[in-house]
Amino acid sequence: SGAWGEAYDVDQDRAADSLLAQAIHGVDFPKTVQQAHDDGVRIFLEMGPGGSCSRMIHKILDGRSFRARSISSATQDEPSTVLRVLGMLISERVPVDLGQLFPERRRIVEEEGPVTRIPIGQASFGPLPLSSKGAGETTNAGDSPAPGTPPSPYQDQPLVPYGKPPDYEHGPANHELASSDYEVGSPGSATLPLELNKAVRAAENTIHAHEAFLRAAQRTQELAEGEYARQQELVRTLVADGADVAAGTALVDSAAPADSTTLAGGKPGTPVTQVPSRPLAMDRDQLMEFAIGSIGRALGERFAHVDGHPTRVRLPDEPLMLVDRVTSIEAEPQSMTSGRIVTEHDVLHDGWYLDGGRLPTCVAVEAGQADLMLSGYLGIDSLTQGLAVYRLLDAVVTFQSELPRPGQVVQYDIRILEFFRQGDTWLFRFQFDSTVDGRPLLTMREGVAGFFTQTELDAGKGIVQSTIEARRRAGSRPADWTDLVPMGEVRVGGATAGEATTGEDVFDENKLAALRAGDLVGAFGDDFSGLPVTRPLTIPGDRMRLVHRVTELDPEGGRYGTGLIVAEADIRPDDWFLTCHFSDDQVMPGTLMYECCLHTLRVFLLRMGWVAETDDATWQPVVDVRSRLRCRGQVLASTKMVTYEIHLRELGYQPEPYAIADALMYADGKPVVEIRDMSVRLTGTDQLALETTWAGRDRSADSTDPTDPMDSTDSPDPAPTGVTPSASTASEPKVATSHRIETRERTYQRPYDSKSILAFSSGKPSEAYGAPYSIFDEGERRIARLPRPPYQFLDRVSAAHGEPFVMKAGAKATAHFDVRPDHWYFEGNRQQEMPFGVLLEVALQPCGWLAAYVGSALTSEHNLRFRNLGGDAVQLARLTASEDVITTRVGLTSVSASGGMIIQHYSMALESERLGALYEGTTYFGFFSEQALADQVGIRDSVIHEPTEAEKQRGRSLEMPHSAPFPDPRFRMVDQIDLLVPDGGPHDLGWVQGSITVDPAAWFFEAHFYQDPVWPGSLGLEAFIQLLKMYAVDRWKLGDDVEFETMPGAETDGPASQLRHRWTYRGQIIPGCTRVDVVASITHVDDAQRRVRADGFLTVDGRTIYAMNDFTLGVIA
């Protein structure tokens, strides 16, 4: 049972009870996993989708023996993932019936006759079937071509019987382009986004991989890899010797695996069932001949004269030669008419270009590069005589499905529609469709390419700036858009080609290298520290290292005001994309230019906080968005530097995060490529998942977002009627005046004095903020309040920046609290130092005030409750019982709203009039419905130490002392020390357990908050600190006059020793609760300075809801 966290005997009633418990309380995943392991479970299988549970299991059971695998991965095809899991099970001796996947079938075995034998190791499982459907067709082996006599492609006739494509025009056209935008002398570079098609051989490649994996699981991985390599060598040897492998293999009934594999020539006249095969117009060897060898040898004697030209239309050389085979050509050689060519590209498992386990956008388009070959086959070289070279001008690419995975085959159906001339320059229009396994992948339309002389290329004017400038308009973001992480503007001016850019926040080569390595902090700074992401999906490296530095980033800049990023890359004459594209005409491919801009856009989005696990997410184009590429210049070996300028136009979620942008690419300052509507989406995640990731940070850095409605901590409570901690209540402010509230649009004037604060905490909200809040004055509508006296630690607000009732980041407030030595909490705590719980409230309460100032409650038609969710801070001074004024400055750094919840992040800084800097950090809050709070499940991944029997015997229990140095009943948050083990806990440094019974009449329920009683989270932290006091008194034998210091370090050790502490709230304590348990695990002890540091948890009625990290207590007297 996930709710109970234990196994049970299943019957109708017990199953119903378990389901009900899960519906009410949710799943306690850590407890369930731990108990399963304790019960002997060692293999955990996740049914998917994704692998988040498997990752959690690895965290929960860290250091123990187990296996956890997911059966569904976003970066692998489903059959491969299933087979890998089965292989793992086989390796762990789990019985697996593979017959359910691979029933007994017919398979390839040798025939009688001459054979070539090569031993390939031990017995294998045998080849897997090519299809789960029936076997192939029955034919007569005698009908096949004789072995060793492959058909020759070198003939002066079409490689495949010519058939005129439908609706094609005949002959060369001698008319002008329809659009005056196509100018001779304004060419672009290389082939660009084209479209992918059918993957006939994908299944075959996948099956080979599966076969190898299953053999590895049964034998060893090394043997399987060697065996596979020897099989490949065997096939290559036979093909080189002229054997017709396909015709010489037969299928017979399955037999026991043999200890060798034999391929033989076929015996004429014997009826066999053949593996289905297709005729190829050209194989890869012939295509490589066309790319870097002789055109005559590749296409036949009719084209031999082309080899004498200084340049020829070619395919690129490796590694950018992406055509693995041509399955059909429908064109009249040398006709300069229309034509069609169908090609395929195999997505290899070890492909150099793979990006997040997928074919990259640029390669998906570039692999449709055979328009080059088709134009040569139709005779363009005979007209240009090698004096004009191919350049792409225009293309519109639209993706229709996800990018292919390794093991799939992409098919391209490419058509040249017509050739035409503009002056002396030849051009052609073309298009293609791309499919994978019959599923549309992408289309390329409005393609135009031409053949330009060197003079025409040199005279090119580049992109006409007015074309893109005319598209100025407002960008688009969702109405509830909020930043996940603060983004500062970065601009470095004055850099020219070859100059090194400088600037503290510029993403230089080192920072981008850190980004490629997955080091987000090294790339972007401390705002990205502590994210719960182990392998973030970033940008590629190696050959795809296309961005060398970022020189400008402005989140509000650009043509549309939605964001601007500018990046650069240095060009070297020996860059791989120049030397391979093409062998006799080196120029950067247009598709790679597109990818450069796309990587730059991804840097912006990553810096914006779109971070996800590599195993779960991929960067993909947005489906059905038409991206238009215009090339009017070139990047050559002589180019020194290219610049990518990206203007974001649209950001949003649908539900995947997506971005649409326009881009300009410059070559040595000249604009050469324009991309409109370049799109990208981060699949495998959504807005809620991203907010969850940021909420899970160990250190809040102005961008932490909880995602769980049950994520709550600091709780609201009603008014103060009952036992008050002392006679004194809220102190009157020293000054209560009218304060000016400044905004960008206008200045507001309103008194925010103690009367206003009290009106908001327990009176009419409209008297505090104005008429918009009158709906909360009476009736059923309720607003989240500030605490009431005596737990109100906010006297006045002297300044507020930002427009009232507009909930967006950037709002700020300056608040004040007057400290008097006779305040009740000094006496109640029996210490000279201000209690930590009070200091924290001085920091947090202005955040609640600012949340109301920006109109948070007005964004929902439902009553919302306000809860602190966590924070990260450092205490800089020890404030004692003296006359003082604390000034608190808070800023709303980000806002997000989803599913009826609102998450807000704040910065906070406290300053003492006497001492100066006092306390600073970040925190985040949530607005939740009452039902969402009732459904909370607590801290999901909490792993609390369970004391051993030996620890229990060594330890002792006692009632929490009532005398000094411990608090009096007003501030007493622990009644009983249930277990104190001086050398216990996971670090053998100490373990303390305490508890208290929840009193529904406790004074703080009345004070915190009005109409929403809840135990203050800060008092939960006080309970934890009181355990540390108990440990210190016991360890160092302290008397009743001892003075403690919470979070010591600033005054004695200097800044280097200032240790940040963190707290996390994921639940609430309300009057209906019964028991609160608190544990402290000592992590560090300094006996010389008498300091102790600890982590801990707070649990209410068995549910862990608070976590405390790196809290420190010192003894100063």
Q: What is the pLDDT of residues 322-356, one digit of tens each?
A: 999 999 999 999 999 999 999 999 999 989 999 99
Q: Which residues sit opposite 325 in a β-bridge? A: 344
Q: Which residues sit opposite 1081 in a β-bridge? A: 991, 1095
Neighbours of 729 (CB within 10 A): 18
Mean of per-residue pLDDT scores for the chain = 80
Q: Which residues sit opposite 183 in a β-bridge? A: none
Place of tokens 């402290």: 1080
Question: How many Å apart are CA 327 and CA 330, to the nearest integer?
Answer: 10
Question: How many Å apart are CA 344 and CA 322, to the nearest integer?
Answer: 8
Query: 3-state secondary structure string, 598-646?
Result: HHHHHHHHHHCCCCCECCCCEEECCCCCEEEEEECCCCCCCCCEEEEEE
What pLDDT, on the 0 to 100 scale, is given for residue 465?
59
What pLDDT, on the 0 to 100 scale, is given for residue 524?
93
Contact 369, 322 (CB under 8 A): yes
Q: What is the DSSP string of 780-820?
A: S---PPPPPTTS----EEEEEES-TT---TT-EEEEEEEE-
Question: How many Å apart are CA 522 and CA 524, to the nearest integer?
Answer: 6
Which of 149-163, 306-320, 576-590 has the weakest average pLDDT?
149-163
Instruction: Write down the pTM of the prediction.
Output: 0.48
Question: How many Å apart are CA 894 and CA 487, to the nearest integer?
Answer: 10
Taking each continuous run of H as one helix and of E as one strand, the counts in the chain are 27, 38
Question: How many Å apart are CA 638 and CA 737, to the nearest integer?
Answer: 69
What pLDDT, on the 0 to 100 scale, is given for residue 390?
97
Neighbours of 257 (CB within 10 A): 12
What backbone torsions phi and psi does residue 842 show, to the nearest 5 degrees? -60, -35
- The three-state secondary structure class of 35 is helix
Q: Which residues of 530-548 are buried (b: 16+ CB within 10 A; e: fewer)?
A: bbbbeebbbbbeeebebbb
Two tokens at 342? Answer: 């169908």
What pLDDT, on the 0 to 100 scale, is given for residue 382?
96
Kindly tell me if the per-residue pLDDT of 18 is higher than 80. yes
Residue 78: pLDDT band with limits 50, 70, 90:
confident
User: By C-alpha distance, which of 377, 370, 302, 291 is closest to 584?
Assistant: 291
* Every domain of the chain and the residues it spans: 12-100, 106-148+201-273, 284-458, 484-695, 723-829+839-867+875-934, 936-1117
CATH number of 723-829+839-867+875-934: 3.10.129.10
Question: How many Å apart are CA 353 and CA 545, to the nearest integer?
Answer: 11
Catalytically annotated residues: 581
Query: Which CA distances in Å does 123 have to 106, 258, 1056?
Result: 18, 6, 64
Contact 792, 845 (CB under 8 A): yes
What pLDDT, on the 0 to 100 scale, is given for residue 949?
94
User: By C-alpha distance, which of 551, 539, 549 is closest to 489?
Assistant: 551
Fold classified for 284-458: Thiol Ester Dehydrase; Chain A (3.10.129)
Two tokens at 343? Answer: 């090609």
**pLDDT of 22-32, one tens digit each?**
888 888 899 99
Strand stretches in 899-1030, DSSP E: 901-912, 916-928, 956-959, 976-981, 991-997
Question: How many Å apart are CA 1002 and CA 1007, to the nearest integer?
Answer: 9
User: By C-alpha distance, which of 894, 907, 933, 900 is closest to 1065?
Assistant: 933
What pLDDT, on the 0 to 100 scale, is given for residue 251?
30
Kindly tell me if the per-residue pLDDT of 1000 is higher than 90. yes
Kindly tell me if the per-residue pLDDT of 198 is higher than 70. no
Kindly tell me if the per-residue pLDDT of 261 is higher than 60. no
Neighbours of 987 (CB within 10 A): 16
Residue 898: pLDDT band with limits 50, 70, 90:
confident
**pLDDT of 208-234, one tens digit each?**
455 545 544 544 444 444 544 545 555
User: By C-alpha distance, which of 890, 888, 885, 889 is closest to 912?
Assistant: 885
Average pLDDT over residues 765-776: 90
Q: What is the DSSP string of 428-442?
A: EEEEEEEEETTEEEE
Instruction: Please enumerate in sequence order all residues whose Cβ is within 8 A of that of 572, keeping only pairs 6 or more positions apart, or say none.
Output: none
723-829+839-867+875-934 and 936-1117 agree in CATH topology? yes
Kindly tell me if the per-residue pLDDT of 538 is higher than 60. yes
The bridge status of strand 1061-1065 relative to strand 1044-1046 is unpaired
Neighbours of 441 (CB within 10 A): 26
DSSP state of 952: H
What backbone torsions phi and psi does residue 837 show, to the nearest 5 degrees? -60, -35
Share of the chain above pLDDT 70, in %: 76
Question: How many Å apart are CA 372 and CA 871, to the nearest integer?
Answer: 59
Two tokens at 65? Answer: 């023996």
Half-sphere exposure of residue 285: CA atoms within 13 angstroms, side-chain side? 5
Two tokens at 1114? Answer: 């010192």
Residue 178: pLDDT band with limits 50, 70, 90:
very low
Average pLDDT over residues 755-774: 90
Kindly tell me if the per-residue pLDDT of 491 is higher than 70. no
Whether the upstream peptide bond of residue 790 has omega within 30° of 0, thus cis, is: yes
Contact 872, 925 (CB under 8 A): no
Architecture, CATH, for domain 484-695? Roll (3.10)
Q: What is the CA radius of gyration of the chain?
A: 36
Q: What is the DSSP string of 1032-1090?
A: HHHHHT--TT--EEES--HHHH-GGG---EEEEE-----TT--EEEEEEEEEEEETTTT
Q: Which CATH class is domain 936-1117?
A: alpha beta
Whether the upstream peptide bond of residue 582 has omega within 30° of 0, thus cis, is: yes
**pLDDT of 794-840, one tens digit each?**
999 988 888 899 999 999 999 999 999 999 999 999 999 999 999 99
Neighbours of 986 (CB within 10 A): 14
Which of 561-575, 656-670, 933-947, 965-979 has the weakest average pLDDT?
933-947
